[in-house]
Amino acid sequence: MRVLVGCEESQTVCKAFRECGHEAYSCDILPTRGNPKWHVNKNILELLNFTQWDLVILHPPCTALAVSGNRWYGEGMPKNEDRWGAIRWTAKLWCYAKLGAARVALENPVSVLWPHINYDELQYIQPWQFGHGETKKTGLALHNLPPLKPTNIVEGREHKVWKMPPSKTRARDRAVTYQGIAEAMAT
């Protein structure tokens, strides 16, 4: 399959699909930390407008969309307009992806986005269902795709991502997909 993994500079999901024999590419406005031959360094909306894919997996920025940011982005809060901008941009991204691919998934945490896009199914997953003893409730909006099936349920429910100390790369590091989840997506 031709697979596009949007808003992914780490290439965790892209590499998992490549290891399964698919022609997969990541796309992000940031340069990749992975193989630049498999990365398109541009706004994904531009790429979706001109290329057809068998599968598109989207990882749009979640800072303004996550309900955990309500104290900054909620109704009446200083960054509320940023939230509405993020909702509009991500809803447009979802529509473009569905026009450019038969199958689409969009990953985001517990989010204010879900009422603003039209999906077949919304599934919530946890890293501990895929071999990582951690919690990070993650939503997957699915279009023409089956839900992910847990591959390796493990003990442990540590919330490591939330406890990450401040750093210049904290947001980027928090956004990386867990390897077990990436492998489940690819298989």
| Vertex 6 angle, CA 152 and 35, to 5° | 80
SS3 state at 104? strand
**Cα 90 to Cα 108: distance, rounded to the nearest angstrom:** 11
What is the side-by-side order of every strand in the sheet holding 2-6?
A: 39-41, 23-28, 2-6, 53-58, 101-109, 138-143, 121-125
d(CA 86, CA 172): 17
Q: What is the pLDDT of residue 171?
A: 66
The pLDDT score that the predictor gives to residue 156 is 75
> How much is the pLDDT for 158?
74
The pLDDT value given to residue 166: 76
Q: How far is CA 9 from the centre of its chain?
A: 11
* Distance separating alpha carbons of residues 140 and 147, to the nearest angstrom: 8
pLDDT at 119: 97
Return the structure tokens found at 77: 């809060």
Return averaged pLDDT per consecutive 10 residues of the chain, 187 residues in all.
96 98 97 96 91 96 94 97 98 97 96 97 97 93 98 84 66 78 97
Q: For position 102, what pLDDT does the model report?
A: 95
- In the chain, the N- to C-terminal Cα span, in Å, equals 12
